[in-house]
Amino acid sequence: MSEKGAGIVRASWAGTVLFGVGAVAGIVAPGPLQWLGFAVSLALFVVGCVVFVWAFALAVTRSRTDEIVVSSLYLLAGAPVPVRVQLFGSLAVEVVVAFGTAAARPYTIAATAILAPVYGLGLCGLWAARYGTFPPRKPTPKRKPKRK
């Protein structure tokens, strides 16, 4: 994998591992450790929301020169395959852990794990907004003046 954006990929996997440990701990020892799982899930959700908005703001500034579509941004259309595999792999693990946790302990605080994958999705957008390649923006056609 290239050095470009490697910190984002590492942060994605670090959050995924932290989430997995917190979620499993909350399932195995639901008494004292369920709050750890909840805290990790909630923290990743909040950080993910902030990163999601940050990525969108970066993309808006880049959209003056590049043709950026939101789906291309968060689905990593302009990213190299190794980066896509790493970021989507991390996101997939988060989704599986989230659904597994919610299924193992439904109707409890552990079900809030379903919010954590926003973290991985936000980091996908951040990588694309900072390092993704997009086609150049097409010039906007000039309007003809209205006739009176």
Q: 72 in helix, strand or coil?
A: helix
CA distance 134 to 74: 13
pLDDT for residue 1: 56
pLDDT at position 2:
56
User: Over the stretch 105-145, which tens digit does the pLDDT of each residue have?
Assistant: 999 999 999 999 999 999 999 999 999 988 888 887 777 77
Report the chain's mean pLDDT, rounded to a whole number.
92
Residue-level pLDDT at 31 = 85
> How many Å separate Cα 86 from the centre of its chain?
12
3-state secondary structure of 66: strand
Q: Tell me the percentage of the chain whose pLDDT exceeds 70.
A: 98
- pTM equals 0.89
